[in-house]
Amino acid sequence: DLVAYNAALSDEPFEVNKAFHQDPDPRKVNLGIGVYRSEQGEPWPLPVVQKAEQIIHQESDPSRHEYGAITGDEDFLSAARQLVFGPEDDGNRQELARVTSVQTISGTGANHLGAMFMAKRFKPTNVWLPEPTWSNHYTIWDFAGVKCRAYPYYNVNTQMLDFERMIEVLSTQAQRGDVIVLHACAHNPTGTDPTKDQWEQIAETCQKLRLAILFDSAYQGFATGDIDNDAWAIRHFFRRKPAMNLCVAQSFSKNFGLYGQRVGACHFAVDSSSIEDSVRSQLAYLIRAEYSMAPSWGAGIVKRVLLDPECYREWKQDLLTMSRRILKMRSALYSTLIELKTPGSWEHILSQVGMFSYTGLSPAQVSLMRQKHHIYMLKSGRISLSGLQPRNVVYVANCIDSVVRE
């Protein structure tokens, strides 16, 4: 059946954002929407992106608005693939040849294409999603016709990864050939990632159960400011033997600030190189039926930055600017709560990574934050740290303190 989708009703971040904009109170703070904002609360087009745009404009290539290939721009895809799986050097060349990459309509499109492809090819009984997760995972997999099941991920009482229960539920309930969705880094919404040791155990469990894996990679470079570190889990799964069926849904929205340009890629590492050709043609079929090819403008910018050594260096600097500002806000929020002696433990604000923090505030406290203090956040207690600024972080901490004491 066709489902009615009203973003303001069905997707909480959109609803929170709308309510924020309608609020006339000058004290208001938007901690709802997951986009980067500068210290002044403004959108921040990356300097290196603006530089690449200028170069492309100056070149004024007459073919810049032509149709591209169905599967996307090969130079863009090669650079995107190396960002995920590591540089193509002698040690990695053969392994990279197992990967089929296609361009997608950002991370959402990559998740969707991955889901459609895996649903048809592997015919899983279930797809296992972390509890909690990005809500669109449910919409996407529901649309692909696969039954969604939740595996324990975050324990709200300990404010830590629910690791033992995660492994136990997967080991006892997942069926051979099921799909599991994992967040590559900076888990949305909890900001809580497994340790390297835990990743190894998760990989072993997936391998034992013959699960097909979909890594959702929307924050590479945001978690630690380091591209390679943030891809550690994916690369670990990729290198394990025997090879697993692995899909990576890659988004360039956050790490390039290209949200509305819809730049992404979907990479498939299959367990046997002999079937690589059929993967490419099956993906091309799905793409052709839906949108013929992904947009070229934003991918052209990303390609330029990744292929030009000077731009690449500048991009890494821009990533550090964003991730360091977020870290600064994390510690400012934490230290103000400690100074205020706010009841409860707040260590998790420091240990969580990426754009979000799962504060642990209850739905009633979240509601008070909004009604009384004009601070907007998700019912789960998730805040986007990029909504914090030097001028509002003390106000936010004071309001948290007051609702916790109420």
What residues are annotated to the active site? 134, 216, 254
8 A C-beta contact, residue 289 and residue 113 = no
d(CA 103, CA 258): 15
Which stretch in 157-165, 251-259, 272-280, 385-393 sits in contact with ligand PMP by CB under 6 A?
251-259
Does position 159 bind ligand PMP by CB under 6 A? no
When binding is defined by CB under 6 A, the residue of 139, 159, 188, 323 that contacts ligand PMP is 188
Q: What is the nearest approach in angstroms of ligand PMP to the Cβ of residue 278? A: 27
Q: Considering only the stretches 101-109, 148-156, 171-179, 290-298, report the one whose residues sit in contact with ligand PMP under the rule CB under 6 A.
A: 101-109
Interacting residue with ligand PMP among 100, 106, 139, 192 (CB under 6 A): 106
User: Using CB under 6 A, which of the segments 47-55, 57-65, 106-114, 228-236 binds ligand PMP?
Assistant: 106-114
Phi, psi of 213 (to 5 degrees): -110, 135
Which residues ranging from 254 to 283 are in contact with ligand PMP (CB under 6 A)? Answer: 259, 264
- Which residue from 319, 136, 94 is spatially nearest to 223, judged by alpha carbons? 319
Torsion of CA 99, 100, 106, 110, to 10 degrees: -90
Question: Counting contacts by CB under 6 A, is residue 104 touching ligand PMP?
Answer: no
The footprint of ligand PMP on residues 280-339 (CB under 6 A) is none
Compute the distance between CA of residue 367 and CA of residue 385 in angstroms, rounded to an integer: 18
Longest distance between any two alpha carbons in the chain, whole Å = 64
Among 34, 124, 221, 381, binds ligand PMP (CB under 6 A): 34
Binding residue for ligand PMP (CB under 6 A) from 218, 234, 266, 299?
218
Listing DSSP states for 305-349 in one string gives HHHSHHHHHHHHHHHHHHHHHHHHHHHHHHHHHHHTT-SS--HHH
Site for ligand PMP in 108-147 (CB under 6 A): 108, 134
Does residue 216 touch ligand PMP according to CB under 6 A? yes
Cβ atoms within 10 Å, residue 12: 18
Residue 108 or 139: the one with the smaller Cβ distance to ligand PMP is 108
How many residues of this chain interact with ligand PMP, rule: CB under 6 A?
A: 13
Note the residue count of the chain: 406
Q: Are strands 375-376 and 29-30 parallel, antiparallel or unpaired?
A: parallel
Q: Which is nearer to ligand PMP, 215 or 346 (CB)?
A: 215
Angstrom distance (rounded) from CA 46 to CA 264: 17
Residues in contact with ligand PMP by CB under 6 A are 34, 106-108, 134, 183, 188, 216, 218, 251, 253, 259, 264
